[in-house]
Amino acid sequence: MTKRFSGIRRCLVAALSLAWTLSPTTTARAGQYAGEFLRIAVGARALGLGGAYCSLTREGWAPYWNPAGCAYQERVELAVMHATLFNLAQHEYINLALPLPNQATLGFSWIRLSVDDIPKFPEPGRTSEGELRIDMRNWVISPEDFFSDTEDAFIFTFAKMNNLDLDLGWQYFVLPVKIPLGLNLKYIRQSLEDTSSASGMGIDLGAQVQFGLDALLDYEPLGDFSAGLNLQNVGKTALNWNTVTKHRDYVPFNVKFGFSYVHPLPALNMLAVLAYDRDTAQDGQNHLGLEMGYDDLLALRLGTEGKELTLGAGLKIWRVTLDYAFVSYDLGNIHRISGSASF
């Protein structure tokens, strides 16, 4: 391995340590962490629900959680989020969704994680046997330079709603089922020190199924059941470095699936939502979320992401939605605020 690429690996440690902390699993092998910034979740509602959002997503956060959810959008929508993570990094997300005829939707998203002022120290000398040579009299405690790490993902999403009247064979009984399907095309780019960069293309495939349990079981008090599936990084999503060795990292394939149930409480003018998700990449991770919503105006949320507890709240005024989430990590607590508006 060349000295240049060895230096790049040392530089990556600072940026990846942040992503590892914000990711559900930190025990996987280091080679599995290409494109790790894409595991840092977006959308405060989803975070408040512990990341149990694959079957629930219906709005501008859908390209991240399940591109099939974009098919539910009926208006032009803009969703944005900005977060400062532990005073170390800036995390951004912007999505623009454009409904098309015949219940189809186009989406354009941008995700960025940037870490500035990462210190760079000179590599210690080595003996002829390859061991580190440390001279305490000339120990360097100040960095010789600073650099930045910037990671971007540009996502093009297409989703299409499919309505099916399912004949179950019961007399005079047909069950209406919604089956949205979605596709993400991703361009991923990472830049280090303004001299080294990597880029690659990726594909996500998503699907959801939704139907009313009230219609299925002929019991009016019941609500809607949904299931979701998101195949992330289908095939080999490779990041190709412009180094001398032309090193290549592979973004791990992940299967995200989940279930949710929305139960109406008409006497209280409320909705109760219970959701479960699981990721299969890097030893797997469970997500569980509960939401209580009042009059499509206010919502309170509680969730678990592995062993971490999450809390959240939401406020909707006309066509503007604001969400808040609180998550506790090893490096400290994070407060997230996100918003969306439809036109």
**111-115, 136-140, 244-248, 284-288: range with lowest mean pLDDT:** 136-140
The span from the CA of 192 to the CA of 225, in Å, is 45
Output the furthest CA–CA distance in the chain (Å, rounded).
Answer: 90
Return the pLDDT at 51. 96
Q: pLDDT at residue 227 above 70? A: yes
Average pLDDT over residues 242-267: 92
pLDDT tens digit sequence for 296-339 = 999 999 999 988 899 999 999 999 999 999 988 776 788 999 99
Sequence-ordered alpha helix ranges (H) in 180-317:
213-217
Band of residue 168 on the pLDDT scale cut at 50, 70, 90: confident
Which CATH entry fits the domain spanning 3-119+146-342: 2.40.160.40, 3.40.50.300, 3.90.550.10, 3.30.565.10? 2.40.160.40
Residues pairing with 254 in the sheet: 232
147-158: average pLDDT: 92
Cα-Cα-Cα-Cα dihedral sign, residues 164, 340, 48, 84: positive
pLDDT tens for 43-78 read: 999 999 999 999 999 999 999 999 999 999 999 999
Q: Domain ranges in the chain?
A: 3-119+146-342
| Torsional sign, CA 22, 23, 28, 33 | negative
The pLDDT, as a whole number, for residue 18 is 47
| Pick from 135-149, 188-202, 252-266: least confident | 135-149
